[in-house]
Amino acid sequence: FDLLHLSLKIQSWHLLCRLRCVQSNIVLLTQAFRKKFVIPDFQPFCAHIDELYENAKNMPGGQVADYIPQLARFSPDLWAVALCTVDGQRHTVGDTKVPFCLQSCVKPLKYAIAVHDHGTEYVHRFIGKEPSGLRFNKLFLDEDDKPHNPMVNAGAIVCTSLIKQGASNAEKFDYVINFMNKLAGNEYVGFSNATFQSERESGDRNFAIGYYLKEKKCFPEGTDMTSILDFYFQLCSIEVTCESASVMAATLANGGFCPITGERVLSPEAVRNTLSLMHSCGMYDFSGQFAFHVGLPAKSGVSGGILLVVPNVMGIMCWSPPLDKMGNSVRGIQFCTDLVSLCNFHNYDNLRHFAKKLDPRREGGDQRVKSVINLLFAAYTGDVSALRRFALSSMDMEQRDYDSRTALHVAAAEGETERRIIHLSQRQVTWGNTPMDEAVHFGHHDVVTILRDYHIPYSPQSDDAAKQSAETNLDGLL
């Protein structure tokens, strides 16, 4: 009896543990069982990512940044891609566990923190919103004597001065690190003291920018410029891995909610503004080209990272140290370009019918279902313009629903008399009815006349009584 009691107690405990596991992850498990993830067929999509990774891996050229000695020590053969979707699906390939410094990839993150804490209006009293058209480290301000945007060095230095004003650098650094941990879902976020010291020793250009900003009174009142530059160098020296940085990007893609923890980290306002500026200013002097060809918010850094956001879908971190002449990762740029060539992730892919592009957000049959619904609804409402547009985009105008009804059956049943609709389809449904049958059944005389002109057959049912009734209806209409 004691053994039975103990066995039942253990079973109850295991059941309770399972229930607790399920309760804490019920949304994730429900999505998994129903295949309601943002990318339903995730494994085939990951196979495409692996192919793009291998393609970019063979890209020649580029040079590892050497103005900071610690950056020059990275092997040019390092190459990694990690992605995290807004519902927590993960995929990594390559050297994704190797830590590296964010460098300029930290700029959109600290801007997001500043807007989250102070709001858009306050932050943009000190920083503009326009691309500069100049090198990222130029000593130059806009016509209002403000840095052009927070993605260039001048704007990033001013943005740094807005975080936890009045606190010591130690308190500020702890605050930002804690924020970064939340963005990364408590995954790896570190700090390279060697890189920080090296940045400070070789940062003459940034000191020059700092003094220029101080002269132009660009900082909030009471700001200690040299202390702010130390804090700026510290933030550039924050370390991540591709895996943890992909979660940061996914948090931006998810409207400020971390997809791993479910916690709201950033306000919607901060996320929207950050993505807007990443899209227009995030890729140094290549920002316009990147927006044109890739059409997604991104931020690059001289350590070789590219933080890429596909809004409402996923975040991606690419990392490879060799840089092109613009300061962007050679392999990273190739990967991003190939990704948008394969998938319809470009912001403006929806302006046309891109039949050759993959849409990972749809299940296999979703596109056909949507196509049939649009076609039949256009026939139902008599929307000739929509039907013409579908025909010109090579849509199958004889698609059928679950009852094998074509658009012409629907138009005939609804009494649509626009003759151009008649060009749609002449197929029979599984019930044995033709469009003529539908028009007769619903008593649409004008439609019957048009269908007779197009020689569309009438095939009443085989049942004698039904046949007699149908023929009587047809005689009455004609």
Q: What is the 3-state secondary structure (H, E, C) of 359-402?
A: CCCCCCCHHHHHHHHHHHHHHHHCCHHHHHHHHHCCCCCCCCCC
Q: What is the pLDDT of residue 114?
A: 97
Say what the pTM is: 0.75
Residue whose token pair is 């962007």: 328
The Cα 345–Cα 48 span in angstroms is 14
Torsion sign across C-alpha atoms 451, 453, 454, 458: positive
- Which pLDDT belongs to residue 384? 75
**Per-residue pLDDT reduced to its tens digit, 281-307:** 999 889 999 999 999 999 999 999 999
Active site annotation includes 302: yes
- Tens digits of residue pLDDT in 344-398: 899 888 655 555 788 888 765 555 677 777 777 777 777 777 777 777 766 777 7
CATH code of the domain occupying 364-454: 1.25.40.20
- Is residue 458 annotated as a catalytic residue, yes or no? no
Q: Is 306 in a helix, a strand, or coil?
A: strand
| Cα–Cα distance list, 161 to 108, 139, 349, 354, 371 (Å) | 14, 18, 39, 45, 53
**What is residue 324's predicted lDDT score, i.e. its pLDDT?**
94
Catalytic site includes residue 454: no
Nearest to 284 by CA among 101, 123, 149: 149
Rounded CA-CA distance 397/386 in Å is 12
| Burial of residue 222, with CB atoms counted within 10 A of its CB: 0-12 exposed, 13-18 middle, 19 or more buried | exposed
- Across the chain, mean pLDDT equals 83
Catalytic residue among 64, 86, 104, 309: 104
**405 in Cβ contact with 376 (< 8 Å):** yes
Whether residue 189 has pLDDT greater than 70? yes
Burial readout 45-57 (b: 16 or more C-beta within 10 A, e: otherwise): bbeebeebbeebb
pLDDT digits over 178-187, tens only? 999 999 999 9
130 has pLDDT over 80:
yes
- The CB density around residue 352, as the number of other CB atoms within 10 Å, is 9
Q: What confidence tens digit (pLDDT) does each residue in 457-471 have? A: 545 544 455 445 444
pLDDT reported for residue 140: 81
What is the spatial distance between Cα 133 and Cα 56, in angstroms, rounded to a whole number? Answer: 28
Taking alpha carbons only, the member of 351, 350, 418, 355 closest to residue 407 is 418
Q: Mark out the alpha helices in 184-323 (DSSP H runs).
A: 193-201, 204-215, 225-236, 242-253, 268-281, 287-293
CB 247 within 8 A of CB 258: yes
Out of 38, 265, 284, 300, the active site residue is 284
How far is it, in rounded angstroms, from Cα 140 to Cα 376? 58
Domain boundaries, the chain: 1-34, 42-342, 364-454
Domain 42-342 has CATH 3.40.50.150: no
Q: Which two tokens stand for residue 146?
A: 């403000």
Reply yes or no on whether 232 is catalytic.
yes
Query: Rounded to an integer, what distance in angstroms lies between the CA atom of residue 51 and that of residue 129?
Result: 37
**Phi and psi at residue 159, to the nearest 5°:** -60, -40
* Among candidate residues 153, 176, 155, the one with its CA nearest the CA of residue 164: 176
Choosing from 81, 107, 299, 320, which is the catalytic residue?
Answer: 107
pLDDT at residue 319 is higher than 70: yes
Q: Over the stretch 327-336, which tens digit does the pLDDT of each residue have?
A: 999 999 999 9
Q: 3-class SS at 330?
A: helix
Tell me what pLDDT residue 395 has.
72
Pick the catalytic residue: 189, 302, 313, 447?
302
**% of the chain surpassing 70 pLDDT:** 78
Q: Helix count (H) and strand count (E) of the chain?
A: 21, 10
Q: Are strands 100-101 and 189-191 parallel, antiparallel or unpaired?
A: unpaired
Q: What SS3 class is residue 93?
A: strand
Query: How many angstroms separate the most distant Cα atoms in the chain?
Result: 99
30 in helix, strand or coil? helix
Reported as half-sphere exposure (CB side, CA atoms, 13 A), residue 473 has a value of 21
| The token pair that represents 286 in the structure block | 């290549």
Asked if 67 is an active-site residue, the reply is no
Q: Can you tell me the distance from the alpha carbon of 38 to that of 89, in angstroms, rounded to the nearest whole number? A: 9
Residues with Cβ within 8 Å of 235's Cβ and at least 6 positions away in sequence, in order, are 102, 106, 110, 160, 173, 176
Q: Which of 38, 232, 237, 310 is catalytic?
A: 232
